[in-house]
Chain A
């Protein structure tokens, strides 16, 4: 028997007497509280309230230890005759249970071990589901993965409509499947189609939607401040309602409402009785769509569909069996390891490793109301900042204001905010043509035209107005920050903040520090970035920083391929089938061919042969003939019809490419070699950035590549890719390419070290 049960019987049990208020009557009740390590149990008359509170953790997660303790408490509740019902609630605000403990999964070294973990969870939740004493899950905050599965095994679920309350099974995003009964209970509860939707996308479901779907039985609105603060009051209210409900379920005065699926789900359930539809539904509709979206690069969603199908068609016993086996299998895949690595990276990039700034920025000014500037203003406005958007021309300013309004209007249309909140947020913007508003700025982010002379002019004009402590951040994608800082009177306050377009959608922010940038300036910039909701990586100044530097050799290789006669559509297809979200030829158009020329010439000049590949003149000729990419309507492709599914290749581009045609080298021109040529230059340059100290650590390198440049997420980023798939084979391929094309493919020394010693890894876990 565990230590908890010993505590239970210990005579020095804590006693609590208090006056409780029940609806309709007031009476005195008995309450006794006893504390375990990860949860405590509070007997309120005949209802046992189990409050989850994982030790030394911000969030509740399900580890082996937590599960064991819960099993003991569960057994005790079953044994205790005076307990008629139980409530499961979290003692941590804003968080019910965030899921399984990821470290527990990482430490399990084999499929057998993780299968056993899943089976253990399944067994416990099975007992919970079959408990004669009703369990009510009282959910405030996230109930994700194992956390949601825990509630699914309860007889009744109550959720608050607080903004923090989200329900979902996001295992698919970690390359896993819901392994504690989720794939079996969800279809039963919400229907096959809704269950598949949840499990395949891993999306968060808000409480109100969850109620409509039948995922929860009852909603509780959060309270405002009263006799205690709002959060405490809400938790007490939720608990009281849950206790009343649990008691009601036990004495029969509360009935569990019958399960009612959506019309669509009922229709599908009916049709699934016919074999031909079963095949069509699971193979064509579900897996077909998964294949279309993932190119088959992610094993988890396909297996999730199989496991759900197994349970729905062949019964729960087989379903649970398949779920546990599938969980074990997926846990050992490279894809899952890569995705968990990205999860770790995201966690890392949501923290400020530079500490708290001395004076956190309150007033932010953005210079330039173009696409980027307006985007930066937009992501700052609803985060509590006072935002000034300054432009030199009223037409440009109006365009920026319209972009911001549209962004928030879209959120309102999607019901993420109310129209009133939209208006309140937008009303906070100070749009101006004058520098006067910068007098009180704590941080100025310039997003003006990418020209060093203009940047110098702007920095001087700005510094004439801003207060002494104000930080000057430059949103540039390639100009070295130390060059920009040359015009500054206080270079320690100058920093680079490289946002990605569109700013409101792209999660990454690359912060660039020079040798003179002060630590407090970095801390402040990172804090602003994090508040804006960005994943922040901090890199050293250097030509192309990190992300742009990776992009340049890749684009250079694409030009070479185009010159060798590989069609842009084929390049795109090979890139997307490798896992890039956007084809690399399309990316060239999106970035802008003029920008590519600028970057290629500049970085080519700095880095020499390693950045060689195609002829930059191809791009120059394209720009000269008015084809500068998507923004001009023509680039490698023609963008006449915005809705067209396939875009025609631009004839002008084809003509120019013919002029610069090169003989392909057959030995390195197979489809897989084309993919490897793109990826190897990308990865080699990333490793070089770490080698040269541009990057601080490989985690940020992976996050930057995946979230800024669309590096295939199932590979986890360039560093995880090398760790999981080996440096030696990559180096081997690069040597072949080197033989054909020269130093562009010469592996850097750090990569060679990893190739030589396979025990060397970039990531420790």
Chain B
């Protein structure tokens, strides 16, 4: 047997890896930018008789780790600053805004329609209506497509969209037992009755005072997202090392983009009570591979692969974009950055494919736009977990998965890494749930110019097993 082993060993040394999903992660550290000279040769996706919706400008507050400089604020403060910044940067007259749509996930009950509170606070006319949408991590994507639809259908010409989330303070409730007692107390008139209620609470304080936290687990499956992501990574054979490498790539690229001044969408924010003006994201940090390798798994123990270092962190921040009908924008003297083109929302099994949205939506949105993967110059994907991104890429590279689960002839392929999230992503920049979508759209537009491309594709996953993707086309004036 021993001699047999030795001969096997020789054979092994000749072996070279061919597996596509492995090579995808092998390429993950390369980040050279290809300059595309193809801009002019690509046709516009505009259709006659359909109103063009353009992105005039997009901004965001710096994204901060929760519990840092923003911690004394309320969520609408951040959204207000984002809208204020957008108005200031564009010089748009406040009364020309016809509508405001904002996405958010964790809702502060005092500002249930946070869009309205932020708009009023930012000085937008009280004659401008506003509403709030929620769709987990793609809430601001939903806000933007809502605005896009309003404009494309000819209802309006000028909409502000955006999103916010604030994890430094979350609504922690009394439990149902206590709430029900409190509601009864409202109706109780007699002293004896009140004493009766009080006696109940004193009798079993733990039962009445144990609080209810905002749900972190998926309601339908009772599984925490990180747990599902860890299983997803395992199902696609994504190693711990590949995840750590991808996280390092994200942080390195974000750091470089910040230093190079590419993140021009970031506003400055003088936070009351904080001495220094906040000017940049504070979650970007380069952690050496050896140090990352030592971290313990955060969800599945002891053999899980997802750690705090290769996941996005709890963040505070807000973003805003100005969407207009193209001719209106031009008439007002704006130079639009990009067209918002085809988009799609799709959803899958919230248990086993919770975060696989991009794998499903990418090929679909390409087909809708009449494009192929090769036509896309800029890819911007929301990075929830390094393992989740790599699992999505592996799924897109798998014929088995395409045939079995996506009802396709074969794989469509994964985006090349040299066009992928070149300015960092949610892992490094931060991920205030409701704010990320607008950041992706703005980054697409800004990168299209910086990299001289024509089309960008953004994709994101969201709780509930929902995915979103959109094609962004660079505007000729930009």
Contact = CB atoms under 8 A, between A and B. Distances in A.
Interface of A: 8-9, 13, 15, 17, 19, 21-26, 28-30, 32, 80, 82, 218, 220-230, 233, 237, 241, 244-245, 418, 420
Contact of B401 (A28, A226, A245): A226
B17 A19 contact: yes
18 contacts: A9-B1, A19-B17, A21-B22, A23-B240, A23-B241, A28-B12, A28-B13, A28-B15, A30-B5, A30-B8, A30-B12, A222-B231, A224-B349, A226-B234, A226-B401, A229-B404, A244-B303, A418-B221
B15 A17 contact: yes
Contacts of A24: 239-241, 293
Nearest to A242: B303
Contacts of B2: 82
Contacts of A218: 302-303
Which of A13, A15, A225, A228 has the most chain B CB within a 10 Å cutoff? A225
Which of B5, B219, B394 has the most chain A CB within a 10 Å cutoff? B5
A226 B390 CA distance: 12
8 A-B pairs closest in CB distance:
A224-B352, A226-B235, A223-B235, A226-B236, A23-B240, A30-B8, A241-B303, A28-B12
Contacts of B352: 223-225, 230
Interface string B227-239: 1000110111101
Interface in B8-46: 8-9, 11-13, 15, 17, 19, 21-22
B300 interface: yes
A233 B394 CA distance: 14
A221 B401 contact: no
B353 A19 contact: no
Interface string B109-134: 00000000000000000000000000
Given A26-B22, A227-B400, A80 B219 contact: no
A17 B8 CA distance: 8
Given A26-B239, A82-B2, A233-B235, A19 B21 contact: no
A227 B353 contact: no
Contact of B8 (A15, A19, A420): A15
Nearest to B391: A226
A29 B235 CA distance: 21
Contacts of B353: 224-225
Contacts of B221: 418, 420
Interface string B215-254: 0000111100001000110111101110000000000000
A221 B227 contact: yes
A227 B15 contact: no
A220 B303 contact: yes
A227 B235 CA distance: 7
Interface string B53-78: 00000000000000000000000000
Contact of B398 (A30, A224, A227): A227
B183 interface: no
A223 B305 CA distance: 14
Contacts of B303: 23, 218, 220, 241, 244-245
Contacts of B220: 420
Contacts of A222: 231
Contacts of A224: 231-232, 235, 349, 351-353
A13 B234 CA distance: 31
Contacts of A15: 4, 8, 11
A245 B13 CA distance: 26
B447 to A, nearest CB: 31
Contacts of A9: 1
B328 interface: no
Contact of A227 (B231, B236, B240, B349): B236
A82 B239 contact: no
B405 interface: yes
Contacts of B21: 227
A28 B293 CA distance: 20
A19 B305 contact: no
B235 A420 contact: no
B50 to A, nearest CB: 38
Main secondary structure of the interface of B (DSSP, over half): helix
Nearest to B2: A82
Contacts of A237: 234-235
A722 B4 CA distance: 62
Which of B240, B302, B303 has the most chain A CB within a 10 Å cutoff? B303
Contacts of A230: 235, 352
Contacts of A221: 227, 231, 300
Contact of A17 (B11, B231, B300, B394): B11
A407 to B, nearest CB: 21
B139 to A, nearest CB: 22
Contacts of B400: 227-228
Nearest to B12: A28
Given A28-B12, A226-B401, A420-B221, A21 B239 contact: yes
A418 B2 CA distance: 53
Interface string B300-337: 10110100000000000000000000000000000000
A13 B241 contact: no
A3 B80 CA distance: 79
Contacts of A228: 400
A420 B351 CA distance: 13
Nearest to A237: B234
A272 B11 CA distance: 61
A224 B354 CA distance: 10
B241 A26 contact: yes
A601 B363 CA distance: 73
A226 B21 CA distance: 12
A644 to B, nearest CB: 30
Contacts of A420: 219-222
Contacts of A23: 239-241, 303, 305
Nearest to B397: A227
A19 B13 CA distance: 11
A230 B351 CA distance: 12
A17 B5 CA distance: 11
Contacts of A22: 239
Contacts of B9: 30
A245 B302 CA distance: 10
B347 to A, nearest CB: 15
Given A19-B17, A223-B352, 14 more contacts: A17-B12, A19-B22, A23-B303, A26-B241, A220-B303, A221-B300, A225-B401, A226-B395, A227-B237, A227-B394, A228-B400, A230-B235, A420-B221, A420-B222
A408 to B, nearest CB: 16
Nearest to A244: B303
A245 B2 CA distance: 24
Nearest to A223: B235
Contacts of A8: 1
Nearest to A18: B15
Interface in B398-441: 398, 400-401, 404-405
Interface in B375-399: 391, 394-395, 398
A129 to B, nearest CB: 24
A537 B190 CA distance: 64
Contacts of B232: 224, 226
Contacts of A80: 1
Which of A30, A226, A228 has the most chain B CB within a 10 Å cutoff? A226
Contacts of B1: 8-9, 80, 82
Contacts of A244: 303
Contact of B234 (A19, A32, A223): A223
Contacts of B4: 13, 15, 32
Contacts of A17: 8, 11-12, 15
A398 to B, nearest CB: 25
B222 A225 contact: no
A32 B11 CA distance: 13
Which of B15, B231, B239 has the most chain A CB within a 10 Å cutoff? B231
A21 B219 CA distance: 33
B243 to A, nearest CB: 10
A602 to B, nearest CB: 51
